[in-house]
Amino acid sequence: MKKICLAAAIASTLLAAPAFAQSAPDSDKIVVAHRGASGYLPEHTLPAKAMAYAMKPDYIEQDVVMTKDDRLVVLHDHYLDRVTNVAQLFPDRARDDGRYYAIDFTLPEIKQLSVTEGFNIKDGKQVQGFPERYPMWQSDFKVPTFEEEIEMIQGLNKSLGYDIGIYPEIKAPWFHRHEGKDISKAVLKVLKDYGYTSKDSNVFLQTFDFNELKRIHDELMPAMGMDVKLVQLLAYTDWNETMVYDGKGQAQPYSYDWMFAKGGMEKVAKYADGVGPWKPMVVSDQSTKGNIKLTGLVKAAHEQGMQVHPYTFRADTGRIPAYANDFNDMLDIFYNTANVDGVFTDFPDKAVGYLSSKDSK
Ligand code: G3P
Ligand code: CA
């Protein structure tokens, strides 16, 4: 983690909670608060971001989607139905696939919604995705705009004296562009408005969409006088994470296969400062305790000068891979054995605490 300065009085207040880091760790390894402190409060709500902030990660993540009236909101899905009461408030607004798309709603409509812990519908009932987490529908949370979240983080940077960065992800740019919306341009404009313009700015801009990453790097940023750090997120082709429309308007899955082949990282590095792989792309699931098998991805990315920030580190029951003893052991394997540069985690206090304890030895 980068060194950060803070007034002693403020520090003693913040550090009163035992779960929070006891001191600012001093290493180059970073912690990204994935959807905020989403292990403790509903993801991507401002309270989850404020809580994450108090845990002192290096970056706080925003997943960004666009509304019908061209506003940017912080939501993981380009659907509203997994984390809000949209189906109850606007029952007639689902598309034929049964989903409620953020892009079909204006910001004033989205602001009417309540946000809760993520859920799935099973046998007509809402079933919480992570049952050990914050209870569903308790208290009242809202969908923030991208600007509201940046203003809160920048406001806390001023009032607390830290310098915590942002890590926005442009969600499904292929989908937004097919719907006639240039989400990347809109995100870049907001970043520029709030002072994130250069490689030195405290931001990583991420996307799963390589074609869009190239467009951002080669066209959009030069046209806007910007040059922020870019991260290519890695997926497997069969996840259908990124689609490409053919001449007949049919969507086909984008093939990520080349990224994992020889020379893949060299090509990505022409456009990106880092990559964001899924954990098993770094440490093979064939690993066992005491026999960790690395895939070679970190080495290949480092050879091209890129950072590696895998996702997603979760401490919930059943989320620790069989090759790790516990959450800290998993962090140790990734930070030290695999030599990643940072991690996305729903539990930023635990990762910050881990790095702090290593630094104090
Ligand atoms: O962006 C890194 C990580 O967040 C990717 O996974 O699906 O949570 O956005 P996702
Ligand atoms: Ca993300």
Q: 161-194 pLDDT, tens per residue?
A: 999 999 999 999 999 999 999 999 999 999 999 9
Q: Lowest-confidence range among 246-250, 309-313, 327-331? A: 246-250
Q: Lowest-confidence range among 18-32, 80-94, 142-156, 269-283? A: 18-32
Q: Band of the pLDDT at 214, cuts 50, 70, 90?
A: very high
User: Which long-range contacts (C-beta less than 8 Å, at least 24 apart) are formed by 214-223?
Assistant: 214/271, 215/184, 216/184, 216/188, 217/271, 217/272, 218/271, 220/184, 220/185, 220/188, 221/188
Taking CA atoms only, the protein residue closest to ligand 1 atom 10 is 76
Instruction: Check 44, 76, 78, 309 and give the catalytic one.
Output: 76
**Atom of ligand 1 at shortest distance to CA of 171?**
9
Q: What is the mean pLDDT of residues 207-234?
A: 98
Give yes or no for residue 206 CB within 6 A of ligand 1: yes
Whether 226 contacts 243, CB under 8 Å: no
What backbone phi and psi angles, to 5 degrees, belong to 295? -80, -20
Give yes or no for residue 141 CB within 6 A of ligand 1: no
Taking CA atoms only, the protein residue closest to ligand 1 atom 1 is 169
pLDDT at 115 over 80: yes
pLDDT at 49 over 60: yes
Q: What percent of the chain has pLDDT over 90?
A: 90
Q: What pLDDT score does 361 carry?
A: 56
**Atom of ligand 1 at shortest distance to CA of 169?**
1
pLDDT at 3 over 70: no
Give yes or no for residue 49 CB within 6 A of ligand 1: no
Whether 242 contacts 174, CB under 8 Å: yes
Cα separation, 20 vs 348, in Å, equals 9
pLDDT at 245 over 80: yes
Is the dihedral angle over the CA atoms 22, 23, 29, 34 positive or is it negative?
Answer: positive
Please provide the average confidence, as pLDDT, over all residues in the chain. 93
44 belongs to the catalytic site: no
Q: Band of the pLDDT at 1, cuts 50, 70, 90?
A: low
Q: What pLDDT score does 24 carry?
A: 41
Give yes or no for residue 204 CB within 6 A of ligand 1: no
Token reading at 108: 């004033």
Q: What percent of the chain has pLDDT over 70?
A: 92
Cα separation, 31 vs 271, in Å, equals 23
Q: Band of the pLDDT at 23, cuts 50, 70, 90?
A: very low
